[in-house]
Structure 1
Amino acid sequence: MNSSERTQGSPGGAVTWPLPWRAAMERALYGPDGFYVRPDGAGPAGHFRTSVHASPLFAGAVARLLERVDAALGSPARLDLVDMAAGRGELVTGVLAALPAGTAARVRAHAVERAPRPAGLDPRIAWCAAPPEGTTGLLFANEWLDNVPLDLAEGGRYVLVDRDGTEHPGGPLEPADRDWLARWWPEAVGPGERAEIGRTRDEAWAAASATVARGLAVAVDYGHTRAAGRPPYGTLTGFRAGREVRPVPDGDRDVTAHVALDSCAGPDGVLLTQREALARLGVSGARPPLALASTDPAGYVRALAGAGAAAELTARGGLGDFGWLLRPRGIPPVL
């Protein structure tokens, strides 16, 4: 058995700690009473802020992207929109609201999430645990891959963790994980170096994007590339109640790590920054002309607020540094 997949304990659910980080993350995020599956009302939005929550401009940009995909597909009778890691359905709801009525009438919307369906969600939105096969349209995964559980390696061995976050050295790396590090994070192969093994993210993205028969798959996340330099000691961290906290796999907080986007991209993936992608979709942080304040004061105030929201979505050192990974399937580039 792969030590990175070892979940210890009895059939009744008892777990013997320490666990490999991958198993600990799986349990903390998606196990019984896990962070992402608890029906606690607020959901992840009560703990951290994403582009979706920052401004409706983000959903509007995704709606325009879906319209471009629709045009590239020749306006099919059924246009699929798949929202991976949908949270409480905020993004898919916003996209449907931003689409022209004629386009929205052809959309079949799917929210992919392991938590229960939230009360009051638009009945047009199908709630499912996995993306549907044969999608014709857009699959959009905003801040999903950073929560796909992964293993940590240090000095050529797996890192184990207790429920309170205390770490211990584990067994030697299996060949597939050692090979991944050698190709994508070679600095971490030597003794004393630490890295996050992104093979599980590569596999998850390959499987999700393969469900798109024709259209576009997009993953948006904080990430890093080998060309730009990997973070020296990794990025594993936690979030709770709006604050960054220790990455403790107790189910009471998000546990996340940035994504090796170049590894996920494969031979046919295209990488952009969010700043670049949103600019191509018409989201600009430029201030409105001052003359508008004299001719239309209310319009100036609205435009100024919109520019502020756009600036947050595209800011360097913030949301603008997110990576957009695009994988077109059977259509020309639309972004």
Structure 2
Amino acid sequence: MWLTWREATERALYGEGGFYLRERPSGHFRTSPSASPVFAEALLCALTKVDTALGSPPVLDLVDIGAGEGGLSAAMLALAPEVLRARLRVTAVDLAPRPEELAEEIAWAPAVPYGVSGLVVANEWLDNVPVDVVEQTARGPRLVLVDERGAERLGPAPSADDLAWLARWWPVGPVGARAEIGRPRDQAWAAVIGAMSRGLAIAIDYAHSAGERPARGTLMGYRDGTAVPPVPDGLCDITAHVALDACAEAGRRAGAVSTRLTGQREALLALGVTGARPPIEQARTDPRAYLRALARASQEAELIDPGGLGGFGWLSQWR
């Protein structure tokens, strides 16, 4: 059966027996939260800044979208000082079943609750919001259709709304060039901003921006820690990089009052993650502390390495 890439990905990832309803993400790819607890510490710093900006309300929300196994939510909750933890209302958002080992204080929900006041974090979520793929032909862009084995053929023209999105955000190049229609991601992010009453929302993903879109798109598959062909058979993750600039505009239309687009390196540096090595003299005066500091510096360096995890894009918007 031939489906658009959006339809096929939706079925493969979230349909009955789909990849994300069956598999633990940690078994297939490395993320910033799983790489080091330093990432949770940095986001806890961001949460503290949000708390101060909101005047330390009696209830402060922390919402983790695309929570997976709930590791980021759990780590931030565990690291929070008691005075903050007592006011925290933590919600992990995911379509997968609730992990049995997750702390009782963390609510589990299929969607962002309405009226959030605090910090919303969507780490590698938008890249798993399925999108359609188009290819340029002599008659204009055509949807790429795919079957369960990954074979492709060209289908009809995209809808008028999708053609308008392409014209604004990803003009398709010469014949043979491809693009991914990010409109579903714009809508998903706008819904996040719309669900907030006040606070900060952060989307973290591999991204690209206008004028620098990949000529053949970014559709990829992952399984067991390895990049594989994107086959929508439910046996691998299917992902595509995110047009965060388009999501930012959708967030503004949904009510965001300020926007910041940065790379993860810049964002984490601002939150105190520097990767600085401890002074060598400490190796003589306190060798154990030196080794601990050296290990932390290595973890920080991985998180801000522009050729790795530091290459993620960060979209931060206040409501």
TM-score normalised by length of structure 1: 0.90
Q: What's the counterpart of residue 270 of structure 2?
A: 280
Q: Distance in 1 between matches of 2:46 and 2:150?
A: 41
RMSD of the alignment, in Å?
0.9
Q: What's the counterpart of residue 161 of structure 2?
A: 176
Partner residue of 2:308 out of 318, 324, 328: 318
Q: What's the counterpart of residue 60 of structure 1?
A: 41
Q: What's the counterpart of residue 255 of structure 1?
A: 238
Q: What's the counterpart of residue 205 of structure 1?
A: 189
Alignment of 1:294 onto 2:257: no
Q: What's the counterpart of residue 255 of structure 2?
A: none
Residue identity opposite 2:164 in structure 1: D
* Gap change, CA 1:190 and 1:173, over 3 Å in 2: farther
Partner residue of 1:167 out of 148, 152, 160: 152
Residue identity opposite 1:290 in structure 2: I
Deviating beyond 2 angstroms after TM superposition, the runs of 4 or more aligned structure 1 residues are: 189-192
Deviations 1:262-303 (A, max 9, x none): 111114431011001111111111111111111110000000
Alignment of 1:158 onto 2:143: yes
Partner residue of 1:235 out of 208, 212, 218: 218
Please state whether the residue corresponding to 1:269 is helix, strand or coil.
strand
Please state whether the residue corresponding to 2:30 is helix, strand or coil.
coil
Q: CA deviation at 1:51?
A: 0.2
Residue identity opposite 2:265 in structure 1: R
Residue identity opposite 1:288 in structure 2: P
Q: Distance in 2 between matches of 1:67 and 1:92?
A: 15
Deviations 1:166-215 (A, max 9, x none): 011011111111111111111x1653221111111111011012211111
Q: Distance in 2 between matches of 1:126 and 1:199?
A: 29
Contact persistence 2:61–2:88 (CA under 8 A): yes
Q: Distance in 2 between matches of 1:289 and 1:209?
A: 44
Contact persistence 1:139–1:209 (CA under 8 A): no
Q: CA deviation at 1:98?
A: 1.3
Alignment of 1:134 onto 2:115: yes
Please state whether the residue corresponding to 1:37 is helix, strand or coil.
helix
Quick one: percent identity of the two aligned structures?
Answer: 56
Residue identity opposite 1:245 in structure 2: V
Moved more, 265-274 or 100-109: 265-274
Please state whether the residue corresponding to 1:278 is helix, strand or coil.
helix
Q: What's the counterpart of residue 245 of structure 1?
A: 228
Residue identity opposite 2:238 in structure 1: V
Q: What's the counterpart of residue 303 of structure 1?
A: 293
Q: Distance in 2 between matches of 1:145 and 1:209?
A: 14
Q: What's the counterpart of residue 26 of structure 2?
A: 45
Structure 1's unaligned 5+ residue stretches are 1-16, 330-335
TM alignment of 1:65-104, pairs within 5 A: 65-104=46-85
Q: CA deviation at 1:316?
A: 1.5
Q: Distance in 1 between matches of 2:115 and 2:226?
A: 39
Structure 2's unaligned 5+ residue stretches are 253-257
